[in-house]
Structure 1
Amino acid sequence: MLWRSRPALLLSKSEHFAADASQPRQFCSAAAPLPAPHQPSPAPIRSIPLRTTKLLLAGVIATAVAFTAAGCAGTATASAPETNASGVTTLKVGASFPATDILNYVESSQAAAAGLDLQVSEFSEYITPDTSLEDGSLDANLYQHLPFLNQFNKDHGTHIVPVGKVYFPPLALYSKKITSLDAIASGDTISIPSDVTNERRALLLLEKAGLITLNPNAAGPADIATNPKNLQFQELDAATLPRALDDVKAGIVNLTYALPAGLTSEQQIYKEDVTGTPYTNLLAVKSGNENNAAI
């Protein structure tokens, strides 16, 4: 058994990041049809700054991360992962960066001793990892927080459940043009993620920064109560937010995209507080496998 219930890992690169994941607006009405099954291929370990790598790897050791299974497409019942004649259980795990590096490290250093063969696949968007979990192409995934998981189940009729908290990377407001909140001027444009859960999360960050106030249960820019600087908001797929910084005064970017894009702590204007956050990234499986012996 690899998984142990421990506090979620807080990933940080100096005072750069603390760590989490975001996703794109492709939500439909309740129980929307699932995309066609996707067969992911393993992804190589990504080259990232050495200090970040050490912290990621140290976090794996501290949290003893492990993985379970998922099941058949379109049903609420999951099937168990396959175990060969030698007693080795193969687990197909989907993830987004930096979780892929965490998983690849577990595979190279800890999985064999636990009787596991981890097959890690990297995804650059946030729909396929859950649909692949639902249809059985994956056994587990590591990329989403609980609000996103709940929204995805609601919108797509899936049966995905969390196993345990793993790591938390906060959102941050970045800019390539200014260095402080005071430099944001009247009428400036701010880019934010377009998916339901992270758009609200981004607006809450802007509210805490003192740039706007929100109506109760705000979901998007239409729910802004006061906007003293008459800020404009550009809603974009999370993966495009780092590139959009060239065209806006500032933008809210998740660690999943900030690190690969080369964004630095010096470009952060305001960062999400980690205290009491619901946005810790989770290891998730299909319902029925949350108590699997491979965990």
Structure 2
Amino acid sequence: MSLGSRLKTILGGLASLALVGALVACGGSAGSGSTDTADAAADKTITVGASPSPHAEILAQAKPLLAEKGYTLDVVEYDDYVQPNVALSEGDLDANFFQHKPYLDDYNAQNGTDLVSAGAIHFEPMGLYAGKSSSLSAIPDGAKIAVPSDATNEARALLLLQDQGIIKLSDEAGLAATKNDIVENPHNVEIVEVEAASVPRTLSDADFGVANGNYALSAGLDPSTLLASEASDSVAAQTYANVVAVRSDDADSEKTRALIEVLTSDQIRDYINENYQGYVAPVF
């Protein structure tokens, strides 16, 4: 092979290498751009775990409002009260919306996690419903009043009865009250303790019943039978308001701020007030 031929061969090889390098570089650039686009999209997606009702329903109303801020809201529904916190702790969710602060605090204590409340949204008030009797101004002597048997909800029920002047509790009872803390009972009412979800079904046998809002809603209780409910500024409402939980590092993130801003907007307040007939009440 002549010297000229050898030079042509060498130069041709170098050109081929240069072409391959250029193609690889272009491919790398395209791949990086695709990754950057995916990362940007993920950063604008807020994934929230929630109970179906009313939490996921409320979040559905928040979707278009978040879209106006440039965020996509992805709601993952859960039927239990454990997995939403597990998923949040493990980073599968950006937030969850299903629990009140005492439950969240207990979960952290039991599991060594550091989940925090980013904001309180609503609570599901205890309501006093008519049963065989329908007037709080003419309570029969010895009237039977069904209340939830679990400690937390029984205390809330008794505090509601106290607010209506039906009984009086000892001053120190508070949110730990039981029927043993009743110090005044002018109507000699009988407090009948039943499982919380069963209260609506006992109203045909009791004069009155105090039920959780979610159980009253699921049982289809007629709103006209609601005689009184916990006020939105009550101790119970402030204590047991349902919160949006996030990891502590994300408490002040842009996503969290956007989510809370929308969930505490006038539009969400109006939706809650107009659609849940007092079974669910905003606290903001």
TM-score, structure 2 normalization: 0.61
Deviation at 1:204, TM superposition (A): 0.8
Task: Specify every segment of 5 or more residues in structure 2 that has no aligned partner in the other structure, as ranges.
Answer: 1-36, 257-284
Whose RCO is larger (CA < 8 A, sep 6+)?
A: 1
The separation in 2 between residues aligned to 1:232 and 1:152, in whole angstroms, is 31
Q: Which residue of 1 aligns with 2:51?
A: 95
**What's the counterpart of residue 193 of structure 2?**
234
The letter of the residue matching 2:160 is L
Query: Which of 128, 144, 168 in structure 2 is aligned with 1:213?
Result: 168
Structure that is richer in helix per residue: 2
In structure 2, how many angstroms separate the alpha carbons of the residues matched to 1:191 and 1:132? 37
Q: Residues 92 and 225 from structure 1, CA distance in 2 versus in 1: closer, same or farther, beyond 3 angstroms?
A: same
Instruction: Structure 1 unaligned segments of length 5 or more: list them.
Output: 1-82
Residue equivalent to 2:97: 142
Q: Percent identity?
A: 35
**1:128 deviation in Å?**
5.4
Question: What is residue 266 of structure 2 aligned with on the other side?
Answer: none
Contact 2:144 2:190 in 1 (8 A): yes
Q: State the alpha-carbon separation in 2 of the partners of residues 153 and 283 from structure 1.
A: 15
Contact 1:191 1:236 in 2 (8 A): no
Output the CA distance in 1 between the equivalents of 2:94 and 2:181. Answer: 38
- How do 1:1-295 residues align onto structure 2 when only pairs under 5 Å count? 84-88=38-42, 89-107=45-63, 109-113=64-68, 114-123=70-79, 126=81, 129-130=84-85, 133-134=88-89, 138-154=93-109, 158-215=113-170, 216-218=172-174, 219=176, 220-228=178-186, 229-237=188-196, 239-275=197-233, 277-278=237-238, 279-295=240-256
TM-score (norm. length: structure 1): 0.59
Alignment root-mean-square deviation, CA: 3.1
Distance 1:262 1:155, change over 3 A: same
Residue aligning to 2:275: none
State the SS of the aligned residue for 1:97.
helix
State the 1:151 CA deviation: 4.8
Could you say which structure has the larger radius of gyration? Answer: 2
Q: Residues 147 and 197 of structure 1 are in contact (CA less than 8 Å); yes or no, is this contact kept in structure 2? A: no
